[in-house]
Amino acid sequence: MALLHRLAQSPIIAAVRSPDKLEEALNSNAANLFIMGGSLNTLPPMVKAAKAQSKGVFVHLDLIRGLSSTDKESLEFIREQIDPDGIITPKGHLIKEAKRIGLHAILHLFVIDSLAMANGLSLSQSIRPDAIEVMPGTIAKVVSHFAESLPDIPIVSSGLIQSREEAAEMLNAGATALSVSEQTLWQLSFSDLCG
């Protein structure tokens, strides 16, 4: 399934920061999960459980204990042994490698100032990730800039989204979906936010 279609199934992506939050994410309306915590030991059963419920599952390489987030061999291990739909990383070389081996690759960008925004846009244009996760996710100006500059790449707004109003604002700014850890938002649909 194309990543845009997977992300567009529901506006909210459940950001699962620890294995003990998985059950709530699996029972939510979120069609996709970002695994943003746990260890190499807890990751396989988390991914398996998500896939058993037809949830899209993406692993944030830098946030899994026991997993190297710098080498290509980690990606091969993840693809062959864990089998998520894709990965999230700020590292351009891993984005390229993930795409090469058949994993969806989401570029994680932390946009703290105009230089970071320009550099993130340049990197995105150069490596062409499957999607871009923009943090912090509550700055409409940044989300809008990426969405307008890269109209063919889905934008995921992530971080600090804690209310229905903030979620709706980011979707209206051009985000394709929102990665949120606030569990009260995990049940929201497009009609709840844009209707």
Quote the pLDDT of residue 1: 58
Q: Could you state, in order of their start, the residue ranges of all structural domains in the chain?
A: 3-186
Low-confidence residues in the chain, pLDDT < 50: none
Give the H or E element holding residue 191. Answer: helix 190-194
CATH fold of 3-186 reads TIM Barrel (3.20.20)
Local structure of residue 183 (DSSP, 8 states): G
Asked if 158 and 140 count as a contact pair (C-beta separation under 8 A), the reply is no
CA distances from 181 to 6, 69, 92, 160, 172 (A): 19, 22, 25, 9, 20
AA letter at 37: G
Q: At residue 174, what is the residue type? A: G
Give me the residue label for tokens 């529901």.
Answer: 10
Tally of CA atoms within 13 A in the half-sphere of 52 that contains its CB: 10
Amino acid at site 164: R
pTM (2 d.p.)? 0.96
Q: How far is the CA of 51 from the CAs of 1, 17, 85, 105, in angstroms? A: 14, 18, 9, 18
Which pLDDT belongs to residue 69? 76
The alpha carbon of residue 34 and the mean position of all alpha carbons in its chain are separated, in whole angstroms, by: 5
